[in-house]
A and B are shown apart, each in its own frame.
Chain A
Amino acid sequence: MSRTTRREFIKRSGFTMLTVGVGLSAFPRYLQMAASSSLTRAAALSQNDRILVVIQLAGGNDGLNTVIPISGTLNGIYRDRRPTLAVPEASILPIGRDAAGHQLGFHPHLSRLRTLFNQGRVAVIQSVGYDNPSRSHFRSMDIWHTANPNQIETFGWLGDTLDLTSPGSHNPLLAVAVTGDRLPLSLAARRTAVPVVASIEDYRLRVTNRLYPADEPIRIQTLLALNREAAPERTLYEKIRLTALDAYTSSQLLQERADQNYQNDPTVVYPSNNPLAGAMKQAAQIIASDLGTKILYVMLDGFDTHQGQLDRAVNHPLLLRYLDEAVWAFYQDMRRLGRDHQVLMMTWSEFGRKLPENGNHGTDHGASAPQFVIGTRVNGFNQGRSTGIFGEHPSLTDLYSEDDTKHAIDFRSLYATILERWLEVSAREILGGRFEIMNFIA
């Protein structure tokens, strides 16, 4: 398959047509590159061809109703403290025992995830959190985004990873946030610009005046020329200008490649009424486009279930179904494209919920919760060799005074393991400290 070199791309998109008298100096990022540099050089700079897909569950996922104790003392306390929210025992999908011997199961809406679990593709990481947990959505999200519980930083852990692994990369698609609106703080980087895409279809600049089509080339050239006029002493201006140029370049690339490289397949269904599945389909198209993307980021919102956790229009079971369908479709898609060995998914949420339900059939902000790591290369359930469950279900008697489960695994251990074992970069350099490397990647 032929790869578009940047040089060809620049030629075709009119970057070199200096019809409006712009000197070369006005093309700082695009033309001062070695002519031989190709789009995939970024991928070559990092040590491997692996891709990380981060799935943020925003609002604080109720972990106690996601991975559920099936019998014994834990189960008794769980039912006692959640008279209306406890999941009926008969409907829980068993996944086996954790290291402490607790029998556990998935929420009934995670049936596809359970199938993947049984195939050894899912690692369940129990009781993930950090010391002195914040119950503020925004503070706790920032802590997870920046991998720093002590102070809020400007840059995120994934942004730092991009800066470290691909210094000087000119690939505008090294990482993509398929979040539709805001750039997640996780991906804020010192040197790497990360595009945000809502839908590839709509990700384009409109310049046409239908009655006067011949004016389009000069109009685009003028627009680019104006957006290439630098003013280095004006930080905001420069940031806006460079983002506009990145938007143009990345949209041209995506429009061209996504269409060529990705065809729908009847065996892979992304349900149309599922927002997470929609985003993960875009992620699959970007991976198929082969543009050297290393990190993709998607998000599912709505987990702040303070009331009517079972009966609101968008309730907790429905959100779990969205997660289940989206992960399943994406995983099957990766297999179909022959890319599943390259791709790892991980979930995170800013906190779990409190053990007791509140007075409105909902749950208030808690602390620790379980997370999932999913992919072909996961060290998952494997008869007799691995349970696929890492850590133990949290105690339901030894709680923080606000009725929250304590954490046993620092979230930075999860990050460190993915950095070291998956992306093969120095976790210490990115996280600024040593965290235990776990064994969930084969």
Chain B
Amino acid sequence: MPLNESDKVAHLLRRAGFAARPEEIERGVARGLHALADEMVHFERVPDNLAPPPSDQYASFDFMTLLTQWWLQAMITTTRPLQEKMVLFWHGLFATSAQGVGDVRQMYLQNELFRGNFEPDNGQVSRPSPGNPFPVGNFRQMLLYLSKDPAMGYWLDNRLNRRLNDEVGSNENYARELLELFSLGVEDVVAKIPNYTEQDVRQASRALTGWSVRPADPTRPGDYPRMFQFDAAQHDLGPYTVLGVTFRGSGEQLFDIIVRHRNPGQTQSACGRFLGYRLFTFFGYDDPEPEIINALADVFDGRNGEQRYSVRNMLKAIFTPGNLVSEAFYSERAFRAHVKSPTEVLVSAFRLLRPSGLGEGSDASLQLALRRMGQALFFPPDVSGWKEGLNWINTTFMLARYNFAHDLMLNRASETSIDVAGLVRQQNLQTPEQVVDYFGRLLLQTPLSPFMRTTLIQYLRSNTYGPFDPTHQRTIDNKIRGLIYLIMATPEFQLS
């Protein structure tokens, strides 16, 4: 059974953003899917409502708690859902951990870099920063900016990479991951043949010698290494040969070679396929068909005369109805068949339930909940980022997901409060059936199965503390909060 318009709208809101609220679905249906997709992809037409960042007066692991809260708040309240979703995408793809940087404040800069607000050449944050290609611009430029990012310079040691000999730079760590994890992958995603050799890694490391991070300025109190520095004395002038192309003098050409690289006999670029695969698995479903990957790679390659290397064009292909890729995105196979990441679990719950007191003071409970569910933002497990899909599901993570719902609804220890009584009044909910139907639809955006509906109504009717009475605090705090917890503690709530 193909999806109806309302399902498609909810699907788009959930995937290109974090959640689909009832009034957002209504509005999307009224405007039409096409207009909604266009609106989401051109998010810069709406003013950004980012709160001021946490003070960087001092850096400590408290700063990481504040930064995590700040970013979660951005995701929960943003007027530009796809922008924040893309920041999350880049964080997972260019996975950098606060545990391996020179100063944790560099993680804030990187987060703003991914939003398009940071200039590594001068260390300044401005919103937006002209010239910065993130979050949906030119991918070749993104690789250049990424290679100058101070957090990355520390995380993968390239700040130390200096001229050594004609084989290799003094540190091949970044050059390797640039090819393996950030742009091409070990193998061509479609052709399944090696994309590069060990020789290519070593030569690429030579091209990036001297790409360093400027040390903190000792005359400025509180300064930290926050900008790119090219160290000519440590730079190897080449010639270097990477992916069959010989060049010399500057590392910049490396990024052209990477984005253009095509394996023998292949129509699409290896990088276009890699990025197409990563984007579609993030927004659509796992193991996409080669035609889908190739169609996205064609967009990347500018095969039909479009601007080359444009991430925005790839997103348009995924979300705008009427092409092969979006056909797959809006298919039954994709519908409610994406395992929410822990960040999506948390942010969707908050966007739907609208709690107050979010992230007040130095409340680290959200950060802790995310860590327990397996996605400590700013602390990916390693440079390959988080493994998604069913890798989010194991016994420890399931307990953590259900316990997050418990802490949110039933445990008064957290500083976050949800006005359940207000919701009940505002929606004029009087009977157990009305309560179950309203919260079921709010949280799952789909009719409950008859079994689930009956079971939940029975739960509300079982009077452990007197009869059901939605005007009574007892019913609100015990039963209705319990009900919201129970809906969140289902397999269905883990899917988007």
Q: Which residue of B lies closest to A176 (CB)?
A: B395
* Inter-subunit contact A208/B456 (CB<8 Å): no
Assess whether A35 is interfacial by the CB under 8 Å rule.
no
Which of B76-84, B243-251, B297-305, B381-389 is the contact stretch?
B381-389
Scan residues 370-417 of chain B and give those whose CB is less than 8 A from a CB of chain A.
Answer: 372, 374, 381-384, 387, 390-391, 393-399, 402-403, 406-407, 410-412
- Per the bound structure, the CA–CA distance linking A306 and B459 in Å amounts to 57
Q: How far is the CA of A61 from the CA of B390 in the complex (A)?
A: 29
Residue among B157, B407, B456, B477 having the largest count of chain A Cβ atoms under 10 Å: B157
- 23 A-B residue contacts at CB 8 Å? A138-B181, A177-B394, A182-B374, A194-B394, A196-B394, A196-B397, A203-B399, A205-B402, A206-B406, A206-B411, A209-B410, A210-B412, A212-B474, A218-B464, A222-B458, A226-B489, A237-B491, A240-B495, A243-B394, A251-B395, A307-B173, A360-B161, A364-B173
Known interface pairs A183-B391, A195-B396, A205-B406; 12 further A-B residue pairs with C-beta atoms within 8 A, sorted by A's residue number:
A137-B383, A196-B397, A203-B399, A205-B399, A208-B406, A215-B464, A218-B459, A218-B462, A237-B492, A247-B395, A307-B173, A358-B164
Whether a CB of chain A sits under 8 angstroms from the CB of B186 is yes
Interface-side segment among B223-231, B252-260, B478-486: B478-486
A interface majority secondary structure: loop
**Does A211 reach chain B (CB closer than 8 Å)?**
yes
Partner-contacting stretch, out of B59-67, B139-147, B447-455 = B447-455
Does chain A have a CB within 8 A of B180? yes
Across the interface, name the chain B residue whose C-beta is closest to A197.
Answer: B396
Residues on A with C-beta less than 8 A from B474 are 212
C-alpha gap A237/B455 in the complex (Å) = 19
The residues of A that contact B161 with a CB separation of less than 8 Å are 359-360
Bound state CA distance, A1 and B491, in angstroms?
38
CB-CB under 8 A for A182 and B398, given A215-B478, A219-B486? no
Distance A229 CA – B450 CA, assembled complex (angstroms): 11
A229 interface neighbour in B160, B402, B451, B465, Cβ under 8 Å? B451
A197 and B395 within 8 A (CB): yes
Is the beta-carbon distance between B478 and A180 smaller than 8 angstroms? no
> B406, A207: Cβ atoms under 8 Å?
yes
- Among residues of A, the one whose C-beta sits closest to the C-beta of B163 is A359
Q: Which residues of B contact A180 (CB under 8 A)?
A: 396
| A20 near B459: Cβ-Cβ < 8 Å | yes
> Is B169's CB within 8 Å of the partner chain A?
yes
**In the assembled complex, B326 has its CB within 8 A of some CB on chain A:** no
Which residues of chain B have a CB within 8 Å of any CB of chain A? 156-157, 160-162, 164, 169-173, 176, 180-181, 186, 198, 201-202, 337, 339, 372, 374, 381-384, 387, 390-391, 393-399, 402-403, 406-407, 410-412, 449, 451-452, 454-456, 458-459, 462, 464-465, 474, 477-479, 481-482, 485-486, 489-492, 494-495
Which A residues touch B383, using CB under 8 A? 137
Q: Are B410 and A208 in contact (CB under 8 A)?
A: yes
Q: Is the CB of B455 within 8 A of A222?
A: yes
A139 close to B (CB within 8 Å): yes
Complex: chain A residue closest to B454, CB-CB? A21
CA distance A181 to B374 in the complex (A): 6
Please report the C-alpha to C-alpha distance between residue A119 and residue B398 in the assembled complex, in whole angstroms: 43
**B residues near A247, Cβ cutoff 8 Å:** 395-396, 398-399
**Is residue A250 within 8 Å, beta carbon to beta carbon, of the partner chain?**
yes
Name the 7 nearest CB pairs between A and B, nearest first: A359-B170, A247-B395, A195-B395, A212-B478, A240-B491, A196-B394, A209-B410
B interface, by DSSP: helix, strand, loop or mixed? helix
Pick from B394, B410, B454, B486: contact of A183, CB below 8 A: B394
The answer to whether B391 touches A182, judged by C-beta atoms less than 8 angstroms apart, is yes
Q: Are B339 and A240 neighbours in the complex by a CB distance under 8 Å? A: yes
* Closest B residue to A134 using CB positions: B186
Please measure, in the bound complex, the distance between the C-alpha atom of A234 and the C-alpha atom of B164, giving whole angstroms. Answer: 55
Q: Is the CB of B477 within 8 A of A236?
A: no
Residue of A nearest to B286 (CB): A236
Q: How far is the CA of A20 from the CA of B402 in the complex (A)?
A: 20
Which residue of the partner chain A has the closest CB to B171?
A360
Q: Are B402 and A240 in contact (CB under 8 A)?
A: no
**Nearest residue in A to B173 (C-beta to C-beta)?**
A306
A236 contacts across to B, CB distance below 8 A: 337, 339, 390, 495
A212, A226, A360 interface centre (most CB from chain B within 10 Å): A226
Beta-carbon contacts under 8 Å, A159-196 to B: 177, 180-183, 193-196
Is residue A241 contacting chain B, with contact meaning CB distance below 8 A? Answer: yes
B490 near A227 with CB under 8 A, answer yes
Cα(A304)–Cα(B407), bound, Å = 37
A244 interfacial contact with B, CB 8 Å: yes
Q: How far is the CA of A419 from the CA of B201 in the complex (A)?
A: 37
Q: How many A-B residue pairs have CB under 8 A?
A: 184
A362 vs B174: C-alpha distance in the bound complex, in angstroms? 14
CB pair A244 B452 closer than 8 Å? no
Question: Which residues of chain B are within 8 angstroms of A196 by Cβ–Cβ distance?
Answer: 394-397
- Indicate if the CB atoms of B449 and A211 lie closer than 8 Å: no
Question: Is A339 in contact with chain B by the CB < 8 A criterion?
Answer: no
Give Cα A239–Cα B390 distance, bound, in whole angstroms: 8
Report, as a range, how many residues of chain A touch the other chain. 35 or more
Nearest B residue to A181 via CB reads B374
Q: Which residues of A contact B391 (CB under 8 A)?
A: 182-183
B53 to chain A, nearest CB (A): 27
A365 to B180 alpha-carbon distance, docked (Å): 13
Find out whether the CB atom of B169 lies under 8 angstroms from the CB atom of A359: yes
Tell me, yes or no, whether A102 is within 8 Å of chain B by CB: no
Contact indicator B464/A214 (Cβ below 8 Å): yes
Determine how close the nearest CB of chain A comes to the CB of B491; give it in whole angstroms: 4
- Given known A223-B489, A402-B198, contact A182–B455 (CB-CB < 8 A): no
When distances are taken between beta carbons in the complex, the residues of chain B under 8 Å from A194 are 394
A441 adjacent to chain B (CB < 8 Å): no
A364-B174 Cα distance, complex, nearest whole Å: 11
Tell me which residues from 54 to 113 in chain A have a Cβ below 8 Å from any Cβ of chain B: 58
A204 interfacial by beta-carbon distance below 8 Å: yes
Q: Is the CB of A226 within 8 A of B455?
A: yes
Instruction: List chain B residues, Cβ under 8 A from A234.
Output: 337
A205 and B486 CA atoms in complex are apart in Å by 13
Contacts A206-B403, A225-B455; is A212 near B465 (CB within 8 Å)? yes
Query: What are the residues of chain A within 8 A of B490 when measuring CB–CB?
Result: 226-227
Give the shortest distance, in Å, between B470 (CB) and chain A (any CB).
Answer: 16
- Kindly state whether residue A136 has any CB partner on chain B within 8 Å: yes
Provided the pairs A206-B407, A214-B465 are in contact, do residues A198 and B171 lie with their beta carbons within 8 angstroms?
A: no
Most chain B CB within a 10 A radius of its CB, from A194, A202, A208, A240: A240
**Chain A residues within an 8 Å CB radius of B171:** 306-307, 358-360, 362, 364
Given contacts A197-B396, A307-B160, contact A229 B173 (CB under 8 A): no
* Cα(A136)–Cα(B474), bound, Å: 57
Question: CB of A325 within 8 A of chain B?
Answer: no
Contacts of A203 in B (CB 8 A): 395-396, 399
Q: A197-B396, A211-B478, A222-B459 are in contact. Are A360 and B170 (CB under 8 A)?
A: yes
Q: Which of A347-388 contact B (CB under 8 A)?
A: 358-360, 362, 364-365
B456 touches A222 (CB 8 A): yes
- Are A244 and B458 within 8 A (Cβ)? no
Determine the distance from Cα of A225 to Cα of B486 in the docked complex, in whole angstroms.
Answer: 11
Which of these, A22, A137, A251, A358, contacts B382 with CB under 8 Å?
A137
